[in-house]
Amino acid sequence: MYATAAICPGFPEGAPCWADARLPDVEAGKRFYGDLFGWTFDEGAGAERGYYTAAYGEDRAVAALAPGAAAWTVHFAVRDTYATAERAVAAGGGITAGPVSDGAVATVARVVGPEGAPFGLWQAGSHQGFERTGAPGALCRAELHTPDAALSDSFYEGVFGYAAEERGHGLRDWHPREPAPAAASAAAPAAAPATVRAPGLARLAASGTARPRFLLHFGATDPDASCAEAVRLGGHVRVAPHDTPYGRRAVLVDDQGAEFGLCAPLEPTGA
Range in 21-35, 109-123, 167-181 the model is least confident about: 167-181
Picking from 33, 45, 35, 115, the residue whose alpha carbon sits closest to that of residue 72 is 33
Picking from 176, 240, 177, 164, the residue whose alpha carbon sits closest to that of residue 203 is 164
Picking from 21, 55, 27, the residue whose alpha carbon sits closest to that of residue 41 is 55
Q: Position 34: which residue type?
A: G
Range in 83-87, 91-95, 211-215, 263-267 the model is least confident about: 263-267
Q: Would strands 118-124 and 71-77 be described as parallel, antiparallel, or unpaired?
A: parallel
The distance in angstroms from the start CA to the end CA of the chain is 21
Write out pLDDT tens, residues 76-132: 999 999 999 999 999 999 999 989 987 788 999 999 999 999 999 999 999 999 999
- Average pLDDT across the chain, whole number: 88
For the entire predicted model, the pTM comes to 0.89
- Please report, for the chain, the start and end positions of each structural domain, with discontinuous segments joined by +: 16-263
Q: Position 123: which residue type?
A: Q
List b or e across 237-256, with b for residues whose CB sees 16 or more CB atoms inside 10 angstroms: eeeebeeeebbebbbbbbbb
Pick the CATH number of 16-263 from 3.30.200.20, 3.40.1180.10, 3.40.50.2300, 3.10.180.10: 3.10.180.10
Q: Which range in 2-16, 196-210, 218-232 is most confidently predicted, on average pLDDT? A: 218-232
Residue 187 is predicted with a pLDDT of 43
